[in-house]
Amino acid sequence: MNRTRILAFKNKPPTSDGDGMIHREMGSPHQSKSTKKRRHISQTSERTLDAPEILDDFYLNLLDWGCNNVLAIALNDKVYLWDASNGSASELVTVSYEDGPITSVSWAPDGRHIAIGLNNSHVQLWDCQVKRQLRTLRGGHHHETRVNTLAWNNHILTTGGMDAKVINNDVRVREHTVACYMGHQLEVCGLKWSSSGKQLASGGNDNLLFIWDRFMAPSNSRTQWLHRLDDHTAAVKAIAWCPFQGNLLASGGGGSDQCIRFWNTHTGVCLNSVDTGSQVCALLWNKHERELLSSHGFTDNQLILWKYPSMRKMAELLGHTSRALYMAESPDGCTVATAAGDETLRLWNVFGTPEVAKPAVKLKPEPFANVCRIR
C-alpha cells in the first residue's frame, strides 16, 4: 500500500547467443538446483471396464475405492468388487427386486466391511472377506425412502436419504441411530466427514450445503448446524475436504449452477467461486499436489484437473459419452476411477506417481538422522 519496492533486480539477465542458447558462468548456483520435472498427464483413460446397467442418476453414489485397493461398484441390484492389485472381479451380492435397486455404496475405514444403501430405505453391512451380510440398519428413526449417500467416521456410519434426513448410526450397538441432523428440505445427495472426524458436510437437492459439528448435540432448534450455506443455485452433490488444509472444503453445483466453491468451514466464508461451464458431478483432491479434479455432465462429460488456488486448468480428460457421475480415488492417491451412464468404468492416471525417497548410503550418522523429513 505504501508503494515500497519488494524486489530489486541488480544483475543484468544472461545474454543469449544467435542460437537462443543462454550462457551461464561455470559454477552458477542455479545449475545445482534440480528443477522439478513436469508431470505428464495422459488425456485418455488407461483402462476401460464394462459397467452394464449402472444407474444414470445424479443423486446416487455407486462407486467407492477401499483402503485394501478394492473398487466397489453398484450395477442396478448387484454390487461387484474389482481388485485393482490383480484385476479380478467378483460379485458380492444381488439384492431382491423389492429392496433394490442399490442406491449407494461406501467402504468402512478398515477396507474389509462395506455399507450398501438401498431403494427401500435400508442399509446393509457386509464383511467382504467372507462375503457375509452382518446386519441391516432399519426401523426406529431411520430413513423412510431410498438412501442416496453414505459416509464413515470410524464406527459411525452417516446416511443421507431422499427423505432429507442425515442420520448417524453407531454400527456397534443394537439401537444404531445416535443422531439425526435436520436441516435439508429435499433429498440429501452428498456427505463427507472431515479427516479429523469433527465436521460433516452435507449437500442436497435443495441447493443447500450444511456444515455440522460432531460434538454439537442435535436438537429441535434450527441452530443445530454450524453453517447453512446457500450460495449454490442447484443441487450440491460434489463435496471434498482438502487433505492439506483441514478447514477447507470444496463443493460443486448441479446443472443450473455449474460452480465450484471453496469454503472456510470454521467461519462459513466462501473463499472463491469458479464457473466450470457444466454440471459438477464429483470432486477429488490430489493427495500429493495442490490440485483438484472435477467430473462433469452436459455438455462434454469431461474431467478437469485444476491447480489450486489459482484454479488454472491443467488438463481436460475426455472419454465418457454420458455424464461422469461417480468418481473414486485409489488408496495411493494416484489413480482415479470414474463411472458414467454410458455403462463404462474408466481408470485415469491423472494424479501421477508420488515421489519415493531413495535410501542414501551414509557412512556416519548425521544429526537429526532419525527425524522424518517432510517433502
Alpha-carbon separation of residue 249 from 29, 125, 211, 306, 373 (angstroms): 40, 28, 10, 15, 27
Alpha-carbon separation of residue 270 from 28, 284, 300 (angstroms): 45, 19, 27
**What SS3 string covers the chain?**
CCCCCCCCCCCCCCCECCCCCECCCCCCHHHHCCCCCCCCCCCCCCEEEECCCCCCCCCCECEEECCCCEEEEEECCEEEEEECCCCEEEEEEECCCCCCCEEEEEECCCCCEEEEEECCCCEEEEECCCCEEEEEECCCCCCCCCEEEEEEECCEEEEEECCCCEEEEECCCCCCEEEEECCCCCCEEEEEECCCCCEEEEEECCCCEEEEECCCCCCCCCCCCCEEECCCCCCEEEEEECCCCCCEEEEEECCCCCEEEEEECCCCEEEEEEECCCCEEEEEECCCCCEEEEEECCCCCCEEEEECCCCEEEEEECCCCCCCCEEEECCCCCCEEEECCCCEEEEECCCCCCCCCCCCCCCCCCCCCCCCCCC
- The whole-number pLDDT of residue 312 equals 97
- Distance, in Å, from the CA atom of 344 to the CA atom of 319, rounded to the nearest integer, reads 10
> What is the average pLDDT score of the chain?
87
- The whole-number pLDDT of residue 224 equals 84
Q: Please, what are the domains in the chain?
A: 47-349 (2.130.10.10)
- Distance, in Å, from the CA atom of 230 to the CA atom of 237, rounded to the nearest integer, reads 14
Higher pLDDT among residues 58 and 223, named by residue: 58
Over residues 143-165, the mean pLDDT reads 96
At residue 217 the predicted structure's pLDDT band, cuts being 50, 70 and 90, is: low
Contact 247, 257 (CB under 8 A): no
Weakest-pLDDT range from 31-45, 60-74, 157-171, 179-193: 31-45
| Closest to 353 measured CA to CA, from 373, 330, 334 | 334
- Distance, in Å, from the CA atom of 317 to the CA atom of 42, rounded to the nearest integer, reads 8
Q: Which three cell numbers stand for residue 172?
A: 456397534
Contact 300, 285 (CB under 8 A): no
pLDDT at 38 over 90: no
Over residues 203-207, the mean pLDDT reads 98
pLDDT tens string 232-283: 999 999 999 999 999 999 999 999 999 999 999 999 999 999 999 999 999 9
Over residues 199-208, the mean pLDDT reads 98
Over residues 365-372, the mean pLDDT reads 40
- Distance, in Å, from the CA atom of 94 to the CA atom of 101, rounded to the nearest integer, reads 9
- The whole-number pLDDT of residue 353 equals 76
Over residues 211-233, the mean pLDDT reads 80
At residue 309 the predicted structure's pLDDT band, cuts being 50, 70 and 90, is: very high
pLDDT tens string 189-200: 999 999 999 999
pLDDT at 295 over 80: yes
This prediction has a pTM of 0.84
* Cis amide linkage into residue 35, ω under 30° from 0: no
Contact 315, 350 (CB under 8 A): yes
pLDDT over 90 percentage in the chain: 77
- The whole-number pLDDT of residue 280 equals 98
Over residues 53-77, the mean pLDDT reads 98
- Distance, in Å, from the CA atom of 251 to the CA atom of 292, rounded to the nearest integer, reads 11
Higher pLDDT among residues 338 and 360, named by residue: 338
pLDDT tens string 11-32: 655 554 444 433 333 334 444 3
- The whole-number pLDDT of residue 270 equals 98
- The whole-number pLDDT of residue 352 equals 83
CB atoms within 10 A of CB 278: 19
pLDDT tens string 318-359: 999 999 999 999 999 999 999 999 999 999 999 987 665 445
pLDDT at 1 over 90: no
- The whole-number pLDDT of residue 12 equals 58
For residue 293, what are the β-bridge partners?
284, 305
- Distance, in Å, from the CA atom of 216 to the CA atom of 199, rounded to the nearest integer, reads 10
Q: Which three cell numbers stand for residue 291?
A: 490440485
pLDDT at 5 over 70: no
CB atoms within 10 A of CB 239: 22
pLDDT tens string 93-122: 999 999 999 999 999 999 999 999 999 999
At residue 373 the predicted structure's pLDDT band, cuts being 50, 70 and 90, is: very low
Sheet holding 156-161, edge to edge: 147-153, 156-161, 166-170, 177-181
